């Protein structure tokens, strides 16, 4: 009987994922759940046949060049792979996979939570009640921005964007979107396509980001782009923090150009941007878009499915 492949799981994944992995692989698990440096990743690569990392582990060109030849596959526990230098890994002959589809519902739920919370002043309202400072009411008290009937712009109409559009339809929102390619009428579900982001910005009372971080999209929401939005618009980001120029966002919030923002991701993670804390109209969460028990199990199992296929001699379904 041949030895099982050695699999390094870099973070503390769900119990069901770890149990399945231990059944089928010789596993090395990071039970302490700390983050590894580039040198530590390289050192560990000499001991394993496969790595199951999260977005917290960086496989840039330098790391890719130094990985031990023993490593044959990196099966990511994430959809986004901007932490992986794909051309450099491909040059080394290392297969890279991700986990699409399974986290779309959970991430869209967080996007709607952020949209609603930002629009209806959830941070401020929670503080007033929680601190005992709520001692007043009038018709002008805590007036927010209505979601029902408003225009929602979506940048990136992939799996998560499409789920977000369906959720927004439940609030009778008028959905508009930009995507690299226009969707079929069946997938559009009545949403209005815009062939440029600049055109989409003009009609977006609310804007939700659902595109990957690439050289073309990093810093996409800059001063120029935000200035194109309607006054008092709301920006929501559950994709990648690198999509937003955070200085430009702060300026837009301070000036009132944006009435609010809802953010689940930041340029610096963990930690976020301390300057945002001064603004109660910035509703923030610590990058938990896919953090449900059901989705964490599904992500882990999808990564293991890709590993199983690879070691069976087949092409993984989610190979990039």
Per the CB < 8 A criterion, the answer to whether 316 and 75 are in contact is yes
Determine which one of 55, 194, 287, 302 is catalytic.
Answer: 287
What is the rounded distance in angstroms from the CA atom of residue 92 to the CA atom of residue 85? 11
CA neighbor of 280 nearest in space, from 139, 118, 131: 118
Per the CB < 8 A criterion, the answer to whether 318 and 80 are in contact is no
Q: Is 194 a catalytic residue?
A: no
Determine which one of 19, 91, 198, 269 is catalytic.
Answer: 269
CA neighbor of 178 nearest in space, from 158, 201, 155, 159: 155
Determine which one of 55, 176, 194, 240 is catalytic.
Answer: 240
Q: Is 269 a catalytic residue?
A: yes
End-to-end CA distance of the chain: 31
Joined together, the tokens standing for residue 84 give 């992986």
Per the CB < 8 A criterion, the answer to whether 230 and 153 are in contact is no
Return the active site residues: 240, 269, 287
């Amino acid at each position: 009987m041949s030895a099982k492949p050695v699999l390094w799981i870099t973070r503390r994944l769900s119990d069901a994922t770890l149990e399945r992995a231990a059944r089928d692989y010789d596993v090395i698990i990071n039970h302490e759940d700390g983050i590894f440096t580039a040198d530590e990743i390289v050192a560990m690569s000499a001991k394993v046949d496969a790595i199951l990392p999260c977005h917290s582990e960086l496989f840039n060109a330098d790391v890719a060049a130094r990985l031990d030849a023993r490593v044959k596959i990196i099966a990511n526990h994430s959809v986004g792979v901007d932490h992986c230098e794909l051309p450099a890994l491909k040059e080394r002959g290392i297969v890279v996979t991700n986990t699409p589809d399974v986290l779309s519902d959970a991430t869209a739920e967080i996007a709607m939570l952020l949209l609603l919370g930002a629009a209806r002043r959830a941070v401020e309202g929670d503080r007033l009640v929680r601190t005992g400072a709520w001692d007043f009411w009038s018709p002008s008290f805590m007036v927010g921005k209505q979601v029902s009937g408003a225009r929602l712009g979506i940048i990136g109409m992939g799996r998560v964007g499409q789920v977000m559009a369906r959720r927004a339809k439940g609030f009778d929102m008028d959905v508009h979107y930009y995507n690299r390619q226009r969707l079929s009428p069946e997938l559009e579900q009545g949403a209005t396509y815009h062939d440029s982001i600049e055109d989409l910005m003009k009609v977006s009372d609310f804007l939700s980001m659902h595109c990957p971080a690439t050289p073309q999209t990093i810093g996409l929401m800059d001063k120029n782009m935000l200035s194109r939005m309607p006054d008092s618009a709301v920006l929501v980001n559950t994709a990648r923090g690198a999509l937003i120029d955070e200085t430009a966002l702060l300026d837009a919030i301070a000036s009132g150009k944006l009435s609010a923002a809802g953010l689940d991701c930041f340029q610096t993670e963990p930690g976020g941007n301390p300057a945002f804390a001064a603004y109660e109209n910035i509703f923030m969460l610590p990058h938990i878009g896919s953090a449900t028990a059901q989705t964490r199990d599904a992500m882990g199992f999808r990564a293991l499915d890709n590993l199983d296929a690879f070691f069976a001699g087949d092409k993984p379904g989610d190979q990039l």
